[in-house]
Structure 1
Amino acid sequence: MWYAYMSRLLLTIGAPKVVLECISRVNRYMRTARQTENNVERNKLLSKSLFLLSVYSEHEDAIQNMSFDENNDFSTPEMLGKRSQSNAFLCATHIYIYRSLLDVPPQTVRTYVAETFSHVSAFFAENTGNFSIWPAFIAAVEAYTLEDQASARCWLDRATVFGLGNRALIRRVVEEVWRQRATLSEASGLEHGKLAVDWRPVMQELN
């Protein structure tokens, strides 16, 4: 199932604990409570998740800078890379929450998509290592503007340089979501940003 596959993708560095908790609760809702169409439970989960992310974001500097070692240098490429990963997870989790719980069209989360890829770029400006797959993937499937899709392709080129396994599947899913959105746009006359395409059934079909 898609949630099992995405759980494996989450086993990467850079995700704050509060982010993992929010994602886990949303996944649980999608597997169970969603079937009952319980809007009260959905809205409660939405409100609590957004509140927790807001609190973490507001106090992120203090949380990440906590250390007994007064000589820690938080301006090193390694620390800046960790910050970029953390910020990307925060932005992508907003995308995931809004798309999963409210099924909003991509234009509603476009700001978070752009911000996610801004943090991806910031990471690669300081590091040559691998960027966590999950936040960039969640942003990529919702990218519909030329600018955001160019950013997504840049990340995909880096992430799938070896062209094997999970990373090759990621590219196929992203490009298929884009293709389906373009097809729907042509058939309906609606702009791409107004058309929601769920990546989950696409992943199930291609996996």
Structure 2
Amino acid sequence: MTKTEKVNYIITELENLYPVVEVPLDHKDPYTLLIAVLLSAQCTDVRVNQITPKLFKLADNPYDMVKLSIEEIKEIIRPCGLSPMKSKGIFGLSQMIIELHGGEVPADFESLEAMPAVGHKTASVVMAQAFNIPAFPVDTHIHRLLTRWGITNGKSVVQTEKDAKRLFPKALWNKLHVQIIYYGREYSPARSPKLSVDYITRNIGSEKVRKDFKP
């Protein structure tokens, strides 16, 4: 298959599997999505969704969040891991949203990425899912799958994002990145992948990639 054929195949199959998708992190607005995505770093979405109700019950907006101490935030989010860094980030970005953006999460990459603990991937998710601005967030799931499928060489997430944006239609970016995450979790996990289940890799993956899979 050419890359164009692979791209068309991926789009068709994922649309058949997941015609309707939602962000797997529970949230109600841009602010709560930003916090949830930040917490999801090196943590499962399931765990994040268990913790955020406790945090958002106390503070679901930046004004209430800064009333909490960093230590209080850290204790609540401890099960998500990296709590010292994440708690400082949550407190700091809440201050910035109040002081620089009138209490509203800004809808531009430069402002988002200027916030503590907010990287490009987190900003991309917020831009795509909170503001419906085309972005292609690349996490480890997407990086792994697009490498397996021969869409990118897999050297870095930066290169994977560039390749994805170049090859997939811009109008599909926001939905497609969620569809790929869903597919990876259901059919192509990082550990013990099986070609009998992961039919996209079976059909378009390279011979080298397929050798790494179990029957």
Using structure 2 for the length normalisation, give the TM-score: 0.31
Using structure 1 for the length normalisation, give the TM-score: 0.32
Larger helix percent:
1
